[in-house]
Structure 1
Amino acid sequence: MLAIIRLITGKRTAWAVLLGTVIAVGLLFALLPANESEDFPAAGLPETSQAAQVTELLSKFPSADQTAAIVVWSRDGDDLTMADRTAITAAAENLGAASIAPRAATPQFSDDGRAALSVMPLEALGATTDIEKTATDIRSTASAGLPGGLTAYVTGPVGFQADITNAFAGADFRLLLVTVVVVAVLLIVTYRSPVLWIVPLAVVGLADGLAGKVAGALAEPLGFVLDASISGILSVLVFGAGTNYALLLVARYREELLHTENRNVAMRTAVTSAGPAIAASGGTVALSLATLVFAELAGNRALGIACAIGVLIAIGFALLVLPAALVVCGRGLFWPFIPRAAAESAPVRTGFWTRLGRGVSRHPAIVTIVSVLAIGSLAFGLNGAAVGLSQADQLLGKPESVVAQGIVDASFSAGLTSQTVVLAPDAASADAVAVALQTTGVSSAVAGENAGGLTRIDVTLDSEPGSDDTFATIAELRTDLADTSGAVSQSIVGGIDATALDTKSSAERDQALILPLILGVVFLILALLLRSLVAPVLLIATVLGTFFASLGASNLIFQNLLGFKAFDTNVVLFAFLFLVALGVDYNIFLTTRAREEARRYGTREGMVRALSSTGAVITSAGILIAAVFAVLGVLPVVALTQIGVIVCIGVLLDTLVVRTVLVPALVFLVDDRFWWPSKPVTTREFPIVSETVPTTAERV
């Protein structure tokens, strides 16, 4: 290991490391196969799911290659005129001419006389090849010749798919651009240098590009699919984590430059000192992400694998490429605040973080109680929280398909645009229809085509697609069919809403399994790193408090300000993963330095000095990664916005309150017992004084 450190920090070998990196990355970009990511997330249900089984069986039916667009006409809530009805009928005939089933396009007028609806069956392959063009063409046909004030909307499978595709259109570039700008601005503010920020940003940017390329190349061999949402989270995580590690390394490097004239020696010491903390922090994040391989949902597994790859690459660039780049550039990179080796007799002063640490050390019990009460009060915001959004609530703003769904909900049966499918044995199809019609919440059930000994029964529900009422109806329908004697009990229920229900159930199962695994990984790494059993328990307790507090605060924002009715299905799991993993980052940065200082000054003074040394960099890193995750809000997808807001609030709370106040207070309360069963060997070679040499950030 020492040989590697000497290699990347040597006067000549650092240049070789940079040149080798450029060549290696260039070859990887040229040789690794390209990956065609999906435009929008797929369900990825396990084979045991009824919805997945129905989807598989329907591929053998004659209509397997069909999809549908639903066109809705409305006069913004006013009654349709006779001229409107005439124009709608003419437009529906034109839609029928472009459909594979012209009669199906015959318009249906609502009982309240305020809306009309037409179903347009389409050949699936042709319709989805360019889904946005398909939706645009249908809208143009449906809008031709309409009287003023009458508007045509496209919804249904084609409409929602077009809106989701449009939401992710250009997402990679837009997200990357905003992320780079945010990181650049925050690095400039942090370093107060017009040039220093360029090096870490360039290194992290290169790591991000390579991470996306490697994850895409491994997708097919490892059996996972990348979609736009996973790619977006991957990019944000690599930029956030990579910049975090860069901040820690640069801070330690600058600190060492104040003690030695030789920048190569300074970097060698910085990598030796900060490297283990960076490796442990990144390893914790990567291992936490890797627990997602045990998830039922393929999307969760894909996110875990892709992001774990990204974090490992970020660690490698932070510990191998960034040190070499900083050494090559020299001290001038820090201009105009160039660090110079200080004389031993340099005057000392007390910085903000030292004063804060000593203030907390005088009243640790009061600080602990106040902090816990504050965090607990935020957690009460979870009262009334719900999980699971309907299809219409999953996109921000008012996309066309959502507006049209609202019109259908008001004037027709809410479930009309989202068919539920029952597959029953041919001999029991009539009985299955009868059972479906007797189920509460079912408005119609019609037997249709058959294949492979099964009959397809299209069921329409009364409730809004993706709502709790719809899920309750599907669950009851499944129970009723299973409890019926004979062949009817072999019937299975699928369709869009059944897929959403099974996705929610699998997500709950994943959450129940993955959350304890993540906590186990974090506990094990902290125990090994700190050689303590008490410290991991206390640190994990603070992370859990941060998690629940951020959920509670976010729930208040979502329901009262942003109008989100609930958390999206996977948001809680992903928020827990990122908050716990990133929270452990800051725990490791602080406590490893505290253990190092405790060997010379004891636990209490060691924590004060650790806070003095790391407080500024942890705060800067927390603000940066909070801002980077907030960037997810630029995409008009509720789930990504929720993840961004929760992680942003959680990281800020973690860095500004928990890591800088609560954790030191807990250490002061338990003192040396914090390290039990081990105990740092305290040499106390130097007297404990009330003032310390200022940290790098405090000097600047």
Structure 2
Amino acid sequence: MPWLVLGLWVVLLAVVAPFAAKLSDVQHDRAVDYLPASADSTQVAKIQEQLPGGETTELVLVYHRDGGLTAADEKAAADQVAAIADRHRLVAEPRGVPSKDGTTLMYPVASTEPGTDEKKRDALVDDVREVARSEGGLTVEVGGSGALATDASKVYESLGGPLLYTTVAVVAVLLILIYRSPVLWLVPLVVAGIADYMSMGAAYGLNQAFGTTVSGQSSGVMTILVFGAGTDYALLLVSRYREELRRVERPYDAMKVALRGCGPAVLASSGTVAAGLLCLLAADLNSSRGMGPLGTLGVLCALVAMLTLLPALLVLLGRRVFWPLVPAFGSAPKQRRSLFSAMGSSAGRRPLAVLAGGAVLLGALALGAFNLPGSLKQEDSFVDKPEAVAAMESLAKAFPEQSTQPISVIAPTGRAEAALATIRENDGVATAESGRSGDGWTEITVTAKSAPQSAAETATIKSLREELKGSYVGGPSAEQLDLRDTNDRDRLVVVPIVLLSVFLILVALLRSLVAPLLLVVAVVAVWGAALGIGGLVFGPVLGIEGTDPGLGLLSFVFLVALGVDYGIFLMHRMREECLGGAEPGAAALTALRTTGGVIASAGLVLAATFAVLLNMGLVQLVELGFVIAVGVLLDTFLVRTYLVTSASVALGRKVWWPGRLSRAPEPPPGETRVRERAVVG
């Protein structure tokens, strides 16, 4: 049987391999891949693709000299721009715009040459930067939305290799420390790598079949989930397998018993995580909606691999895989007072005091969320400042009186002149020029009087949208506004769906209303506390200037799904003990003692894998990785061990209400008659 499973996996990998290699071909990180499906800015981006020449790549060349530009500087700038115009097809002849202080010259450049091809766009930006060189004290920076997109895509491209290698290294180190074996750690790590490869092929298939958005962010998180969740399932299975090897002689039989024992909990926990992630399909934001299916694929591929391939390999390798701590048949594990026994004892002695203290601590930590920085601006979204951001900062200093980032208006061609007149009458508009027309639409390029992404520019965008009925207002600043507004909407829609779906799954699994409610309240408290710690760290410690609008929703979905995952491990064992006749209080302490070590190991691995995102080059990934890693650690070492256990002890049988475990067992008939005679006597 193990050889058959191994053979099936070889065939499966042979089938998946060609598709896995193609995932990078369908991965896109354009604005439209992250924007809300129904937003104005998304419609603008889509219509621009249909206009003559296709999508426009907009760049800004910024020439600067501290002491003021010389005539030679202006000639050098004009020559460079002319060379760029000769080499590339530009929308219009570039015109230089000098700053009032004479230190800076701005040349807006736009080209339809790349269209929607991201590789051609990156090649255009690189070539423009090659031509526009700094020399003799004259500094040249290439910015604009096109350059910003290129710099962002290069960061996403760099995520794949480092993200995978760092994740593998972190998991390998932790598994070596946990297993204390020179061989055993390698088996789940190899299986997780195979599961990751399978998830890549499945993600490509999902994209081809349903058009699911694949971005650098979603594919990176999918890898994190495969290794994090997969290693968690491996830890649970290997722990139970080691336990059974002491009682069962043949490894094959021991593995069957182990799978029967922990399989239901692993299936239930992975199902809960998958259900929670799939709730992201209700989001309007393309990036969030695409992350749900990809994250689910990662979890399910990890589940299948860890419940089929891992058992087969462990059985084929036999007991020697545990060397030097080989579990001999008939032996007993060393009895040591574990940390979780001590923690359980303290929670059992004063459950209400522990519960109240933990609740106060989590509430105090959650207050730190009020210290989270404001919305993340484009120029603050990189850990290391790229050239495009440096150009934006130079423009902001040189042209403080006006925006240097265009607002794009798409109006019906029949009403384009009226729209242009309305735009020019707007108090917040500096200039407006009619551009390309085609397919019934006309593009109007607008320059606001205020700085990009300022409160005044935001007000201008909103007023234009109110005044221009039937038209669409987009551009980089409008995109950021739509991202923020849509994330606010998605939180109101997705959060209740996640809570309801997870709660219903827990009710079906635990046959109770109180226990699921306890777990859900616990993970929500963890989420609030983790965000609060983020508020205390992001600005003061890490120097982060803004909060990603999607942080609240994504961190909530992941922490609720993954936190309940660990709760299932604990509660499932607690229910087993109660079904065996143990009182709920004793069952809670036994469950903590027997599963605490595995849950702690799993929590450390999962937190470490998400912490890998802290080394990535985008602030939104750093923030997401930090909040989830901190939340998992809080859940593992505080909420799961102390608070859930304390609440279970305090509630007693009520924790299983209204199921049959909530009622005291009926005494045997013989014992009842003895008691009756004693009362009569």
Q: Indicate the percent of aligned positions where both proteins have the same amino acid.
A: 37
**Does the C-alpha gap of structure 1 residues 178 and 70 become closer, same or farther in structure 2, counting only changes over 3 Å?**
same
**Does structure 2 retain, via aligned residues, the 8 Å contact 1:523–1:540?**
yes
Q: Of 146, 155, 166, which residue of structure 2 is paired with 1:158?
A: 146
Please give the per-residue CA displacement for 1:475-509, whole angstroms capped at 9, x wherever unaligned. 1221233xxxxxxx433322232233223333322
Aligned with 1:564: secondary structure? Answer: coil
2:82 corresponds to:
93
- Paired amino acid for 1:98: R
Match of 1:227 in 2: 215
Aligned AA for 1:657? L
For residue 604 of structure 1, the aligned residue among 585, 607, 632 is 585
Structure 1 match to 2:498: 518
- Contact 1:368 1:662 (C-alpha < 8 Å) held by counterparts: yes
Return the alpha-carbon distance in structure 2 between the equivalents of residues 469 and 668 of structure 1: 56
> What's the counterpart of residue 122 of structure 1?
111
Equivalent position to 1:106, from 79, 85, 95: 95
Q: Contact between 1:532 and 1:675, CA under 8 Å: does it hold in 2?
A: yes
Match of 2:633 in 1: 652
Partner of 1:74: 64
2:307 alignment partner in structure 1: 319
How many angstroms apart in 1 are the aligned matches of 2:599 and 2:427? 56
The reply to whether residue 537 of structure 1 matches residue 517 of structure 2 is yes
Question: Which segment drifts farther, 244-253 or 313-322?
Answer: 313-322
CA contact (8 A) 2:61 2:141 kept: yes
Deviations 1:277-309 (A, max 9, x none): 100000001111112222223322221112212
Alignment partner, residue 627 of structure 1: 608
Structure 1 position 228, deviation (Å): 1.8
Task: Name whichever of 550-559 and 190-199 sits farther off.
Answer: 550-559
Which position in structure 1 is the counterpart of 2:194?
A: 206
In 2, the alpha carbon distance for the partners of 1:639 and 1:180 equals 22
TM-score by length of 1: 0.89
Structure-2 change in CA distance of 1:556 and 1:437 (3 Å): farther
What corresponds to 1:172 in structure 2?
160
Aligned position for 1:476? 463
Structure 1 distance, partners of 2:541, 2:378, is 20
SS at match of 2:74: helix
Give me the whole-angstrom Cα distance separating, in 1, the residues matched to 2:90 and 2:309.
61
Which of residues 156, 174, 186 is equivalent to 1:186?
Answer: 174
Match of 1:281 among 244, 269, 281: 269
Residues 250/296 of structure 1: CA separation in 2 closer, same or farther (3 Å cut): same
Cα gap change, 1:227/1:618 in structure 2, threshold over 3 Å: closer, same or farther? same
**Cross-structure match for 1:40:** 29
1:368 correspondence with 2:355: yes
Deviation (angstroms), 1:432 = 2.9
1:33 touches 1:217 (CA, 8 Å); kept in 2?
no
2:372 maps to which residue?
385
Q: Which runs of 5+ in 2 are unaligned?
A: 668-681
Cα distance change on mapping 1:445 and 1:42 into 2, 3 Å: closer
Q: TM-score, normalised by structure 2?
A: 0.91
Contact 2:37-2:285 at 8 Å conserved across structures: no
The aligned counterpart of 2:484 is 504
SS of the residue 1:129 aligns to:
helix
Matched letter for residue 214 of structure 2: L
Shift of 1:263: 2.5
From 615, 618, 621, give the equivalent of 1:637: 618
**SS, match of residue 385 in structure 2:** coil
Counterpart code for 2:324: P
Give the whole-Å Cα distance in 1 for the aligned partners of 2:537 and 2:520.
26
User: The residue matched to 2:325 in structure 1 has which SS?
Assistant: coil
Corresponding pairs, count: 662
Closer/same/farther in 2, CA of residues 349 and 31 from structure 1, 3 Å limit: closer
Secondary structure in 2 matching 1:104: coil
Task: Give the conservation status (yes or no) of the 8 Å contact 1:96–1:102.
Answer: no
What amino acid does structure 2 have at the position aligned with 1:22? V
Secondary structure of the residue aligned to 1:559 is coil
In structure 2, what is the equivalent of residue 490 of structure 1? 470
The partner residue of 1:674 within 644, 655, 658 is 655
The whole-number CA distance in structure 2 between the counterparts of 1:619 and 1:202 is 22
* Cα displacement (A) at 1:678: 1.5
Counterpart-to-counterpart distance in 2, 1:660 and 1:141:
61
Offset of 1:227 from its aligned partner?
2.0
C-alpha distance in structure 2 between counterparts of 1:203 and 1:347, whole Å: 29
1:217 CA drift (Å): 1.9
Conserved? CA contact 1:41–1:299, under 8 Å? no
Q: 2:51·2:438 contact (CA, 8 Å) conserved in 1?
A: yes
Partner amino acid for 2:44?
A: V
What is the one-letter code of the residue matched to 1:298? N
1:461 corresponds in structure 2 to 448
Aligned partner of 1:55 in structure 2 is 45
Q: Which range moves more in the overlay, 307-316 or 433-442?
A: 433-442
Q: CA deviation at 1:60?
A: 4.2
Distance 1:665 1:47, change over 3 A: closer
> RMSD between aligned alpha carbons?
2.5
Query: Is 1:84 paired with 2:64?
Result: no
Q: Are 1:615 and 2:605 counterparts? A: no
1:40 Cα deviation (Å)? 1.8
